[in-house]
């Protein structure tokens, strides 16, 4: 009886230490991810910081959609052309 109680308590201890280790590992991973994310955000703000003489260019797809809208509207207004 004492042996089984010892084994049960010992296995519970091992489970607890494994849980604690995995919790520490996840904390470490979380902090590393947070650090990495911070670095990325920092570099993004440096890379994409607009300067006063920066011209904003519209995306080609947006320009294309605007042309298509104009074409459709003109066809609707002048169906003969």
Distance CA 69, CA 35 (A): 45
| pTM tops 0.85, yes or no | no
Sorted by sequence, the CB contacts under 8 Å of residue 5 that are 6+ apart come out as none
Side-chain-side CA neighbours of residue 49 (13 Å): 6
Q: In angstroms, what CA-CA distances link 31 with 26, 27, 42, 56?
A: 8, 6, 16, 36
pLDDT at 21 over 60: yes
Instruction: Give per-residue pLDDT as tens, 50-73.
Output: 566 656 565 667 777 888 888 888
pLDDT of the residue at 46: 47
- Asked if 58 and 52 count as a contact pair (C-beta separation under 8 A), the reply is no
């Amino acid at each position: 009886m004492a042996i089984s109680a010892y084994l049960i308590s010992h296995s519970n201890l091992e489970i607890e230490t494994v849980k604690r280790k995995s919790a520490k590992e996840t904390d470490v991973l979380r902090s590393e991810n947070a650090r990495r994310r911070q670095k990325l955000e920092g570099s993004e703000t440096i890379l994409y910081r607009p300067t006063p003489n920066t011209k904003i260019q519209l995306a080609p797809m947006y320009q294309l959609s605007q042309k298509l809208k104009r074409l459709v509207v003109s066809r609707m207004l002048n169906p003969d052309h």
